[in-house]
Amino acid sequence: MRGVDPWRISVAPMMDCTDRHCRYFLRLLCPHVRLYSEMVTAAAIMHGDCDRLLRFDPAEHPLALQLGGSDPRLLAAAVRKAEPYGYDEINLNVGCPSSRVAEGSFGACLMGSPGLVARCVQAMQAESGLPVTVKTRIGIDDRDDYGFLHDFISQVSAAGCRTFVVHARKALLSGLSPKENREIPPLLYATVYRLKADFPDLRIILNGGIDTLAAIRTHLAAGVDGVMIGRKAYADPYWLTAVETGVLDRTGMWQPPSRGDVVAAMARYARQETGERVRLHHITRHMLGLYHGQPGARAWRRFLSTRGCAVDAGPELLLESLKMVTGDDAGF
């Protein structure tokens, strides 16, 4: 898409959601939206099964790898090990508020150590020619004044980070679950708009609570460089076809597949992927929202949730599931 910022629309990294099967599925619905991996810790890459953690299908491009960690040397080593896999971006998680992540001294708590984040960015950049970006919040706990955020962005951008994804809520590091941290702290979009005005040369991507085309257009009109969509993309994935055609101006250039087309494509994908280490459920669990709001959606979800979990469930079950939905869009 000539002239369109490759970060204009993206789907957020979501733990237990945006694994490689989910991303392949989403890519069928939005060919030009930027996708992000689940957060992978630098330690897991250094000591775990790299192929299991990092491999992906070429169809998933453009794709960012999100890393978690706070040790510059360990993050640099992880970037070095990830380099051959061919990601398009390395993103550092400075936004996750979970207590487990905080106990590891990374995620949102790192906002309190901008100098350390800057060193992490520099170390990662030294190992890769890819863009190294940062996903963060607008503040943490009672450190939520604009000056705190401005100073954080100033220090980290001085280290070479040119793209920031900013969740327009502060993070409360104790007392709230990650889900509550996505809902209870108020959304302060104007803070992110102000950040873009103060740092016009940086790419500022807004994240948090975006679930309508109108909201996307409003935020883009306010001057941010892009928006990142979170739970809406997982709960109602077919909505991404409207984002592709209605926001990225693909009308007439790309024909959205029917839902049935997508099911058929995922059945073909499942034939290639299912085996000893991958069960059908690992794939179909990400598809349960495909018929969101459509006739037969509940029966379809129930069918995949129950039958798809069987040990011997095969790809043909996906095609059989189409009997659960009605209307012209059911077929392929």
Q: Pick the catalytic residue: 96, 109, 120, 161?
A: 96
Catalytic site includes residue 309: no
Please, which residues have CB within 8 angstroms of residue 43's CB and are 6 or more apart in sequence? 69, 74
The span from the CA of 207 to the CA of 102, in Å, is 21
Structure-token match 């099911």, residue found: 263
Q: Which residue's entry shows tokens 């800057």?
A: 118
SS in 3 state form for 239-306?
HHHHHHHHCCCCCCCCCCCCHHHHHHHHHHHHHHHCCCCCCHHHHHHHHCCCCCCCCCHHHHHHHHHH
140 DSSP β-pair partners: 143, 171
Distance from chain centroid for Cα 291 = 21
d(CA 328, CA 332): 9
Residue 237, preceding peptide bond in cis (omega within 30° of 0): no
Radius of gyration in angstroms for the set of CA atoms belonging to the chain, rounded to a whole number: 20
- Residues known to be catalytic: 96
